[in-house]
Amino acid sequence: MLELIALVCGAALIIWQPIEARKVAGGWVRKRHRGTPEAFRANHRRQLTLFVWLGIAIGVVNLGIGGLMEEDRTRQIVRFVTAAIWVGVAVSAVFARRILDAAPR
């Protein structure tokens, strides 16, 4: 069940990160944010950096577990798919950071 939640959340992040990065690059700021738009952009960039490292870490761990510890072929495939999705989250976050960096300030 946890693998299913990780798969769904990872797939949602792959799609959502570039969409929100385009909004932030266009000047969008959350209503609850009390700082400047530049501070919000910097915080969003830090959040994307966190997702880069988180995606790499979860992807590598799932790849290692799937390759070394899983004996059941079905669970091994699920681990590899989960690893691929979380590496995709990291790639999506890098792409979203590039969108933020390319936007005029």
Residue among 52, 59, 63, 62 at smallest CA distance from 90: 52
- Rounded Cα gap, residues 79 and 66, in angstroms: 5
HEC assignment per residue over 36-89: CHHHHHHHHHHHHHHHHHHHHHHHHHHHHHHHHCCCCHHHHHHHHHHHHHHHHH
Instruction: Please state, in angstroms and as integers, the Cα–Cα distance from residue 7 to each residue in 13, 40, 82, following that order.
Output: 10, 28, 6
- Per-residue pLDDT, 10: 93
Q: Cβ distance 83 to 65 under 8 Å? A: no
Tell me the pLDDT of the chain (105 aa) as tens digits.
Answer: 888 898 999 999 999 999 999 999 999 999 999 989 999 999 999 999 999 999 999 999 999 999 898 889 998 998 999 999 999 999 999 999 999 999 887
- Per-residue pLDDT, 2: 80
- Per-residue pLDDT, 64: 94
Q: Residue 64's Cα: distance from chain center in Å?
A: 20
- Per-residue pLDDT, 82: 92
